[in-house]
């Protein structure tokens, strides 16, 4: 019997061990659940916990054998991770949690052995038992004080579990106003009343108002508001010193003019009176005015104002020396002509009299004129002025040799026709009679005519000539003309050329979902010969793009769009991020400094590069000695080296650092401010900035963060063949430089 009980007890303990620990607590309390790793042979193990987030809030997750982030625990070592408790998960039970038992699960999501083969392991958590409270003792408390302006609130809570049993509103209408001090809100004036009021100090409402009596004017001060003038009254006002209002106003008598000063306001002239005025010295107004008599002309001086001529009188004037006006004027007698000189003003001709004039030598005027008799014609010379023709009389004239006028004219008899020979005027053709004429040899007049018959004359054929060009669809025409009469003798059609097909040209571009169209046109006339559809291109599937980043509380979203039209082809929900790697450092893959004797506890790597050969090299970007998060590119070209990097989607870079070392001795400066820093993406002169060193160590140390759920994230395997081969190449390269 004892043995059976012992076996039963052992079985119960075993079941409890397998099921994990069960922890009892009330709503609002905190519990810590141990997490265990069982039957593990893995050197790299990732464990993820699960729980009911509607009841439990994860406050912390610890991992004693590695590190924890979000709901994930990661452990890595060169030997298998030992089974047993690997950490704890601390939860707070939510205030509204219902009594019951809630499981905290743990599962292995990744496990690899030292050879990067899948390993085996299991994980377990525990249970949280939420116990109920009977709310035996409660207390009312005011959570928001009521005022006259706003409602308040009070609640009844359980003294043991803190659960709110009941809430009540404290009405604002039950709270009286709190009177403040009486405050002047409107100051009284001399004639206007003021005002003072009292406000509630809580809600600022006015609860009482009183009038402040007007103060009344003071005795005031007299001020001149309008200065008096000689003829205009002034004004003075009694001004209140408090409000500046006018209490009363009085006139100030005009001052009157002073004795004044005489001033000439208009100077007198020889014939015009002047004027003088008595001017007030205060206001500059004219008190009275008087005339100044005209001065009168002086004796003047005689001046010739118009010289006399032979037949025209002159003039002289007596000019005043003061005003330059003419006092009086007198005539100067005309001088008369001199004896003059005879000049021929018009030469006599054969039939026209001439003229001579006696010209005054002083004024060039004509004193008198006389005729010169006409000279008469000379004997003249006979000239033929119109030649006689066959039927028309001619004419001859007797021409004066002096004036070239015709003295007399006589007829010359007509010569008569000179009979010639018969001449073909229009030759007979294939279709028309001709004409033959007898013409005068002198005047070409037709003296007689006769018909030349056309009968019996055939057409003379010319060449066939294309008179209408053919088109693609219509015939042309060529004709044959008679070379003599131009008549159309024959017609022949020229066949239509037919369309000349051009290339098929896309006239309507197809889209991803709609057909396009292509047409073929005639290269000659441009007519569309053929139309064909162009198949729709179909969507060009693009890359996935994250449209909503997932967080630890909300799911994300990503979509794949067509590259051509942007149509959303596919969407996918990104799960809630369960682990975020913060403050991770990333280096280009290569040997670790600490493995080569550099004094540092960091895992930092570096990459040896040969700068003596132009080329482009790519290396993995390793984060936290765990994940591959991107690539590093080193471009050696034309005496420069350029270092750049690219991270996978979802990895966020917080800080950048790049240095290039000559040897491992410079690595002693790790984590100091003395390391020389270079810029990414900028060419670095190998000769000027790196002293021409052919082999250098690229040290990249960026700070970044990312989620463990990134799909492109892959693990860095230290024991992997690729990494071991890279280490051998690095050692060989460093040996060449005698490191």
State how far the Cα of 240 lies from the Cα of 249, in Å rounded to an integer.
12
How far, in Å, are 268, 273, 290, 568 from residue 277 at the CA level?
Answer: 14, 14, 6, 104
> Average pLDDT of each block of 10 consecutive residues along the chain (739 residues)?
38 39 85 94 91 93 88 87 94 90 93 84 94 81 84 84 80 85 88 89 86 88 90 90 88 89 90 90 88 88 89 90 87 88 89 90 87 88 89 89 87 85 80 82 81 74 89 90 82 90 91 92 90 91 77 77 89 69 87 90 92 94 91 96 95 93 88 88 95 94 86 83 89 75
Nearest to 25 by CA among 122, 141, 107, 104: 104
Nearest to 231 by CA among 195, 270, 284, 170: 284
Tokens at 666, concatenated:
């410079």
pLDDT value at residue 155? 86
Q: For 142, what's the count of Cα atoms within 13 Å in the CB-facing half-sphere?
A: 8
State how far the Cα of 11 lies from the Cα of 4, in Å rounded to an integer.
11
pLDDT value at residue 437? 83
Question: What are the helix (H) ranges across 546-653?
Answer: none
**Element (DSSP H or E) covering residue 465:** strand 461-468
State how far the Cα of 8 lies from the Cα of 2, in Å rounded to an integer.
10
Strand partners, 424: 436
Residues 394, 406 contacting (CB under 8 angstroms): no
Task: Give 382's DSSP letter.
Answer: E
E strands, 379-426, are 381-386, 394-399, 406-412, 419-426
Four-CA torsion 33, 39, 41, 45, nearest 10 degrees: -20
Residues 307, 314 contacting (CB under 8 angstroms): yes
Four-CA torsion 698, 703, 708, 709, nearest 10 degrees: -90
Nearest to 386 by CA among 374, 376, 396: 396
Residue 11, sorted as left (phi over 0), alpha (psi -120 to 50) or beta, turns out to be: alpha
Tokens at 82, concatenated:
């030992």
**Element (DSSP H or E) covering residue 735:** helix 721-736
Tokens at 129, concatenated:
């038992």
Nearest to 464 by CA among 481, 484, 485: 481
How far, in Å, are 475, 503, 507 from residue 521 at the CA level?
Answer: 20, 8, 11
The number of beta carbons lying within 10 Å of the beta carbon of residue 61 is: 20
State how far the Cα of 299 lies from the Cα of 582, in Å rounded to an integer.
125
Pairing of strands 126-131, 21-26: parallel
pLDDT value at residue 649? 92
Residues 477, 503 contacting (CB under 8 angstroms): no
State how far the Cα of 627 lies from the Cα of 631, in Å rounded to an integer.
12
Task: Give 441's DSSP letter.
Answer: T
Task: Give 456's DSSP letter.
Answer: T
Tokens at 91, concatenated:
């939860």
CA-based radius of gyration for the chain:
67
**Element (DSSP H or E) covering residue 7:** helix 2-19
How far, in Å, are 138, 156, 439 from residue 159 at the CA level?
Answer: 5, 9, 157
Strand partners, 35: 87
> Edge to edge, what strands does the sheet with 234-239 contain?
221-226, 234-239, 246-252
pLDDT value at residue 579? 60
**Does the pTM of the predicted model rise above 0.85?**
no
């Amino acid at each position: 019997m004892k043995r059976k009980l012992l076996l039963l007890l052992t079985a119960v303990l075993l079941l409890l061990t397998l099921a994990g620990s069960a922890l009892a607590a009330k709503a609002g309390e905190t519990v810590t659940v141990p997490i265990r790793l069982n039957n593990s042979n893995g050197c790299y193990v990732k464990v993820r916990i699960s729980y009911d987030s509607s009841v439990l809030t994860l406050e912390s997750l610890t991992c004693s054998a590695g590190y924890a982030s979000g709901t994930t625990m990661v452990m890595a070592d060169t030997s298998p991770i030992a089974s047993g408790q690997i950490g704890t998960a601390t939860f707070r039970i939510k205030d509204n949690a219902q009594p019951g038992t809630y499981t905290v699960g743990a599962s292995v999501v990744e496990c690899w052995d030292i050879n990067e083969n899948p390993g085996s392991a299991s994980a377990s958590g525990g249970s949280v038992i939420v116990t109920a409270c009977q709310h035996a003792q409660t207390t009312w408390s005011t959570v928001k004080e009521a005022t006259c302006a706003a409602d308040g609130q009070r609640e009844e809570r359980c003294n043991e579990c803190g659960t709110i049993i009941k809430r009540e509103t404290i009405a604002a209408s039950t709270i009286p106003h709190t009177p403040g001090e009486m405050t002047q809100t409107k100051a009284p004036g001399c004639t206007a009343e003021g005002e003072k009021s009292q406000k509630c100090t809580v809600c600022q409402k006015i609860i009482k108002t009183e009038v402040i009596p007007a103060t009344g004017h003071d005795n005031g001060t007299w001020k001149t508001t309008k200065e008096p003038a000689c003829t205009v009254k002034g004004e003075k006002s009694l001004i209140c010193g408090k409000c500046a209002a006018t209490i009363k106003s009085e006139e100030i008598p005009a001052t009157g003019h002073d004795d004044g000063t005489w001033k000439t306001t208009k100077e007198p002239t020889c014939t015009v009176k002047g004027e003088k005025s008595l001017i007030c010295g205060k206001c500059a107004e004219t008190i009275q005015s008087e005339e100044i008599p005209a001065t009168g002309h002086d004796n003047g001086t005689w001046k010739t104002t118009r010289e006399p001529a032979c037949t025209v009188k002159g003039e002289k004037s007596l000019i005043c020396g003061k005003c330059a006006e003419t006092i009086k004027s007198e005539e100067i007698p005309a001088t008369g002509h001199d004896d003059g000189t005879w000049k021929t003003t018009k030469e006599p001709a054969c039939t026209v009299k001439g003229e001579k004039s006696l010209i005054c030598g002083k004024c060039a005027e004509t004193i008198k004129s006389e005729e010169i008799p006409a000279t008469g014609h000379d004997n003249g010379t006979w000239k033929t002025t119109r030649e006689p023709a066959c039927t028309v009389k001619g004419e001859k004239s007797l021409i004066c040799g002096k004036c070239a006028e015709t003295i007399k004219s006589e007829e010359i008899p007509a010569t008569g026709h000179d009979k010639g020979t018969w001449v073909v005027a229009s030759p007979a053709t294939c279709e028309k009679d001709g004409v033959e004429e007898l013409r005068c040899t002198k005047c070409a007049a037709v003296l007689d005519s006769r018909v030349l018959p056309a009968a019996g004359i055939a057409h003379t054929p010319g060449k066939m000539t294309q008179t209408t060009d053919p088109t693609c669809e219509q015939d042309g025409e060529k004709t044959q003309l008679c070379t003599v009469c131009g008549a159309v003798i024959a017609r022949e059609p020229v066949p239509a050329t037919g369309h000349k097909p051009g290339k098929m040209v896309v006239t309507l571009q197809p889209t991803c979902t709609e057909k396009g169209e292509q047409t073929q046109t005639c290269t000659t006339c441009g007519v569309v010969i053929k139309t064909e559809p162009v198949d729709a291109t179909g969507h060009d599937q693009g890359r996935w793009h994250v449209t909503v980043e997932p967080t630890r509380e909300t799911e994300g979203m990503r979509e794949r769009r067509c590259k051509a039209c942007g149509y959303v082809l596919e969407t996918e929900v990104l799960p809630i991020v369960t682990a975020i790697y913060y403050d991770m450092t990333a280096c280009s893959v290569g040997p670790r400094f600490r493995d080569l004797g550099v004094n540092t506890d960091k895992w930092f790597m570096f990459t040896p590069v040969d700068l003596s050969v132009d080329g482009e090299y790519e290396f993995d970007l390793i984060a936290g000695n765990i994940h591959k998060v991107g690539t590093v590119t080193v471009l050696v070209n034309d005496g420069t080296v350029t270092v750049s990097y690219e991270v996978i989607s979802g990895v966020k870079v917080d800080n950048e650092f790049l240095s290039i070392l000559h040897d491992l001795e410079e690595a002693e400066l790790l984590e100091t401010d003395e390391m020389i820093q270079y810029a990414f993406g900028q060419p670095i002169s190998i000769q000027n900035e790196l002293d021409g060193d052919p082999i250098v160590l690229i040290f990249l140390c960026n700070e970044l963060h990312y989620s463990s759920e990134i799909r492109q994230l892959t693990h860095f395997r230290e024991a992997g063949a690729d990494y071991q081969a890279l280490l051998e190449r690095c050692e060989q390269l460093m040996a060449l430089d005698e490191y």
